[in-house]
Structure 1
Amino acid sequence: MRLSLLSLLSLATAALAWLPQDRGLFGRYIKRFNSSYTKIRGVNLGSLFIIEPWMASQEWTAMGCGDSKSEFDCVMKLGQDGANAAFKKHWETYITEQDLDTIKAYGLNTIRVPVGYWMVEETVYRDSEHLPQGALPYLDRLVGWAAARNIYVIIDLHGAPGAQEPNQPFTGQFAPEATFFNTYQYNRAYTFLQVMTQRIHTNPAYDTTGMIEVLNEPQRNHGSLISEFYATAYSKIRETESGLGISQDQQLTIQFMDAAWGAGNPNDVLSGKSGIAYDDHRYLKWAPIVHSKTSYISTSCSDSFSNGENVPVIVGEWSLSVDTAIEKNPEFDPSNEANKVWYRQWWAAQVQSYEKGAGWVFWSWNTQLGGDWRWSYKAAVDAGVVPMNPDEARGLAGC
């Protein structure tokens, strides 16, 4: 996820609702997947394969990473062998099979899994890039757990070669500048996307993995992102599927950040292509609105998005966190029972709005922020703020 100002909220008309008989979101035929799902309702597994110290500080400290700003920095601090051991322990324990049971029990049908390009280790420059090794078997294990529970999986390239945003730990490296936006870095990303595409189609553990997002939250103002990277990424994934003999009805859905993100419109090069979805991130915390309880509710109730062409749209990240300047004020104190009633309404207002489109994926499932559950779906349910049944949103929103 990104801790900076979002682009203006789009005022375009709402996206059409996705129906299961449409090609739409769930992509290829997936064994054991429950086709009765008509909306994506999910959670991000943030800080599993790319740790963000702000949201997992206890884990970060226990691993020995100290004041390191990113995984790259921690590997340099611990050395490759020491880092590999520390990260292996993290992957073993941070998200367990019990978490998947709980996700299912809480009425959710989807997980979005942020990963770095270094998951495919052949893409890493070992002489200059310091990143943890050995994560791929743990991804295999995770998606296998999801498949056994009919939970849909979105694989998200969250950390790109060279970093797609500066000074952001979600890229895996706290890089002073984003150096992703050139052909040789794009080529490494294509390798990641092609290796993962082949693995998804040939490894039974990925039976409910139906979507791959080619890049999370790219920096703005890079023309080649659309004309070169997006166009070629789509082609490379489809070429890989063609080489495997995958029919169109079994192809992956390929996801791109929507034009509302502000880094260009993928549809400029993808118009007429099949099996595409768009990702919109809706953090009102950083939106240019009045930051009050009334404004948050009214904004979410009236929120609509998509330009009418870029459909289906999934709100791939959102939360219950409010503007930093007021988040510790008594009127927004998450421990206050009266405030919990308001947060419950705001959760519902966001859900009903995002389901005007294709659905939503909350950021995140698990955090280590003490009693502040505003970034953790699990903690919010456990605190009695979010109901176990997302169907209750319509009656709670008050829109």
Structure 2
Amino acid sequence: MPYTDDMGIPLGAAQPRFLGRALYDDGGAPGMRNSIASHQTYPSSDRASEYGADSLYNLNPAGQGRSSFTDGSYHDEPGFFMADQNTRRNTEKRAPYGAAKSRRRKPILLGLGIKKFGDDSKPDSSSNTASNNSSSSTTPQGKVAIVTGGDGSNIVAEDGSTFKYSNSFGGTWYWDVNDPFNNGARAQSWTSALNETFNFGVERIRGVNIGGWLVTEPFIAPSLFQNAQKNAPPGITVIDEYTLLQAGGQAALEDHYKTFITEQDFMQIAAAGLNFVRIPIGFWAIEVLDGEGFLPKTSWQYFLKAIQWARKYGLRINLDLHALPGSQNGWNHSGRLGTYNVLFGPMGIANAQRSLDYIRILSEFISQPQYKDVIPMFGVTNEPQGNSITQDILARYYLQAYNTVRLASGIGQGHGPMVSFHDGFMGPDKWAGFFPNADRASLDMHPYLCFQGQSADPITARSTQPCGAWGSLFNNTLSKFGFIVAGEFSNAVTDCGLYVNGVNLGTRYEGTYTLDGNHPDLGNCATDWLDYQNWDKDTKNAYKTFAMSSMDALQNWFFWTWKVGNSTAGKVEAPHWSYQLGLQEGWMPTDPRQAVGQCGNKSPFQGSLQPWQTGGAGAGNIPADFTNEYSWPPPSIVFAGGVTSDAGSLPTFSPSGAPITLPGPTITPASGEPTQTKSVDVGSGWANTQDTAGMMKPIAGCNYLDPWIGSSSSPPSPLCTAATSAQPAGDSGDSGDGAPPNPRAPPAITAAPTLRR
């Protein structure tokens, strides 16, 4: 296969973030990756009301530059497992940390905003009946509410605070408590308003991640973790969200949700010329099973706020399912650092079944007419370990996820969100030809430069490196696969930064990170790379050039991340990762359109997407031979060391549980503003009433392991009692309950806890 390193891994297939390789899953297969710490402008009165409307390739050629940039290996992770490391146990890897739809009447334009007068908007009492899924209130008549405005207008936030709307790009905000699903806002004059169709492949995605908010990461919110560590019980080292809660950090986590990202951040993102936000969430936003240790459902309430704020400022959301039960990658940003157990190991199928349920629940919610125009993209699984899982198994899961999303929209081609699939670190070339005729399937890749090989060369010598490889890579993928987005990238060129590799794991640059081998000491991170307060004009300009080179080469992108919080020292200690800080300090472009042509090509993609790739003719007509080849569930699952096990010997669930529906928001007027005068339907949480299958639930009489058990463990023995044991395919004992056949007896293992729902 072209573009591979000496271990057969595609160069530049972007990698996961951060974390240390410590904690990887029992050595894994030879060559397995290490973990890482992780248009037209319409007047407001013409807009439809509510929700109707219509890691990096090797950047230097061989033989040029420093050897660390010509080695043909990934540059964004700690390293790889070697064949002689396969016996490393999980306890050894964790050792560094110790124990542990209708149109409404057009309003009247007045000044900066539209004012609605109470005398003209009295509710019709005959139609003002609220249901359990509606939000309503009454108010004295006669108050005036400004519901839209442009640059310089005053905004009253949801919490009652006021601030000035500052957007020099012709953006307009829109919020009316009596019309809360109005999609009239526009992020910038050149970006389609939310009540207009975003044209993927024509309009560029210029986005930013809101990382570290609803799925926390130590390097993004360091003080949260540092303060939790101060109060942690003996034996607990706070390294991820799981240990944060073990250390008693629930109140701190809820305060983090409330304060880390606010409405003003969304306003600022639109004012920065950005049109999309990618928002990571964890499965615990939906539910948590007994003993899993995460804070259930709370983060969902803040995601609902994010939807409201995005709608208010004309931003679109790429919903990113960032953390799955059992973890899909073993990194701290999956919620729990350690093993990965989705599509891998003894709980691989069961955890994938649960994950598909959560994809279904989220799909049903975002496919509702109230939300579909604000959330037109859904990343179904962030950064799964594809090289270990294998592409065959991952592709089967992805096809199932795609079908799940399309069933939720249930209204034909071109409807429902763009479905985004991460490349699994195998490189986009491996996915050429996959999902033929799929209705808007997008490939997601996360290119980083900062991990693996390090260099002391300054940023002034490296500012145009992204142009060389990324441009052709993304052009080729647009031609061979279809739409591709860089879901993550940053300005970092070294692994310097507090907790960038994980809590207390050091850096390669300084030679203190030893979990993937020894690294030479190249200098001091604090003085060489992190002292942004003293960067001179040339340095800031070089970083800006680097950012624009990346944006131009990637074409459709989401910077990681919008904001990095202060440490307990009162400062940002990972400055290369904060878009907000870069704007404030002058090393990010104030208008991302400036990046077009930075790499010397004004129109990088020469061609057009196929009609079916954007929801046109042929969309959704996936050939039967493809769906048959990638049927679900997979016949076998890979374990640590490359060992495979028949699916019939593994724990699985059956679709016998009651479906979970996610609640809509409570529509609340801001303090001091006119209150709501009519009921509002916030949705039932379930778009397709024809989708009536049950949720996956444990089968009575069968045994299950802890979702995070690790891939070296054997399946339960006995898997099920004789009365409930699944039978071989075609056997008269096949109960049809969804469990796979069990053609042979599973190996014996030590007794494990039973998963309870």
Give the alignment's TM-score, normalised by structure 1.
Answer: 0.82
Secondary structure of 2:480's aligned partner: coil
Q: Which runs of 5 or more structure 2 residues have no equivalent in the other structure?
A: 1-15, 19-34, 37-54, 61-191, 496-508, 510-521, 602-757
Secondary structure of 1:204's aligned partner: coil
Secondary structure of 1:216's aligned partner: coil
The verdict on how the C-alpha distance between 1:10 and 1:385 changes in structure 2, with shifts beyond 3 A counting, is: closer
Secondary structure of 1:129's aligned partner: coil
Compute the displacement of 1:316 (Å).
Answer: 0.8
Counterpart residue identity of residue 164, structure 1: Q
Q: Is the counterpart of residue 178 in structure 1 residue 340 in structure 2?
A: yes
| Matches of 2:318 and 2:271, distance apart in 1 | 19
Compute the displacement of 1:275 (Å).
Answer: 0.9
Counterpart residue identity of residue 336, structure 1: W
Could you give the per-residue CA deviations for residues 329-386 of structure 1, whole angstroms, max 9, x where no partner exists?
A: 866453321211211111111111111xxx1100000102535521000000000111
Tell me which residue corresponds to 1:310: 481
Compute the displacement of 1:279 (Å).
Answer: 0.7
1:231, 1:270 within 8 Å by CA — same for their partners in 2?
yes
Tell me which residue corresponds to 2:442: 277
Q: Give the counterpart of 1:169 among 305, 314, 332.
A: 332
Alignment of 1:18-167 (within 5 A): 31-33=194-196, 35=198, 38-62=203-227, 67-78=237-248, 83=250, 85-121=251-287, 124-126=288-290, 128-133=291-296, 134-166=298-330
Equivalenced residues, count: 367
Greater helix share, structure number: 1
Counterpart residue identity of residue 274, structure 1: D
Tell me which residue corresponds to 1:366: 563
Compute the displacement of 1:191 (Å).
Answer: 0.9
Could you give the per-residue CA deviations for residues 72-104 of structure 1, whole angstroms, max 9, x where no partner exists?
A: 1222222xxx62x33222211111000000001
2:445, 2:484 within 8 Å by CA — same for their partners in 1?
yes
Could you give the per-residue CA deviations for residues 172-210 of structure 1, whole angstroms, max 9, x where no partner exists?
A: 0112x2111121111111111111111112272553101
Alignment of 1:319-358 (within 5 A): 319-324=490-495, 325=509, 328=525, 332=529, 334=532, 335-337=534-536, 338-355=538-555
| Matches of 2:59 and 2:362, distance apart in 1 | 33
Compute the displacement of 1:235 (Å).
Answer: 1.3
| Matches of 2:336 and 2:409, distance apart in 1 | 31
Counterpart residue identity of residue 250, structure 1: H
Tell me which residue corresponds to 1:252: 417
The verdict on how the C-alpha distance between 1:396 and 1:236 changes in structure 2, with shifts beyond 3 A counting, is: closer
The verdict on how the C-alpha distance between 1:63 and 1:109 changes in structure 2, with shifts beyond 3 A counting, is: farther
Give the alignment's TM-score, normalised by structure 2.
Answer: 0.45
Counterpart residue identity of residue 280, structure 1: M
The verdict on how the C-alpha distance between 1:266 and 1:232 changes in structure 2, with shifts beyond 3 A counting, is: farther
Could you give the per-residue CA deviations for residues 132-185 of structure 1, whole angstroms, max 9, x where no partner exists?
A: 12221211110121012111100111111111112x11000112x211112111
2:421, 2:443 within 8 Å by CA — same for their partners in 1?
yes
Tell me which residue corresponds to 1:202: 368
The verdict on how the C-alpha distance between 1:30 and 1:226 changes in structure 2, with shifts beyond 3 A counting, is: farther
2:327, 2:334 within 8 Å by CA — same for their partners in 1?
yes
Secondary structure of 1:270's aligned partner: coil
Compute the displacement of 1:300 (Å).
Answer: 1.1
1:349, 1:397 within 8 Å by CA — same for their partners in 2?
yes
The verdict on how the C-alpha distance between 1:318 and 1:232 changes in structure 2, with shifts beyond 3 A counting, is: same
Counterpart residue identity of residue 237, structure 1: V
The verdict on how the C-alpha distance between 1:261 and 1:330 changes in structure 2, with shifts beyond 3 A counting, is: farther
Counterpart residue identity of residue 349, structure 1: S
| Matches of 2:197 and 2:265, distance apart in 1 | 19
Secondary structure of 2:575's aligned partner: coil
1:152, 1:209 within 8 Å by CA — same for their partners in 2?
yes
Compute the displacement of 1:271 (Å).
Answer: 2.1
Report the more deviating stretch, 63-72 or 186-195: 63-72
Compute the displacement of 1:63 (Å).
Answer: 5.6
2:379, 2:420 within 8 Å by CA — same for their partners in 1?
yes
| Matches of 2:196 and 2:564, distance apart in 1 | 28
Could you give the per-residue CA deviations for residues 255-292 of structure 1, whole angstroms, max 9, x where no partner exists?
A: 00137645994556512211111111111113669774
Counterpart residue identity of residue 226, structure 1: L
| Matches of 2:257 and 2:528, distance apart in 1 | 37
The verdict on how the C-alpha distance between 1:396 and 1:264 changes in structure 2, with shifts beyond 3 A counting, is: closer
Q: Relative contact order (C-alpha < 8 Å, sep 6+): which is higher?
A: 1
The verdict on how the C-alpha distance between 1:100 and 1:323 changes in structure 2, with shifts beyond 3 A counting, is: same
Secondary structure of 1:42's aligned partner: strand
2:450, 2:492 within 8 Å by CA — same for their partners in 1?
yes
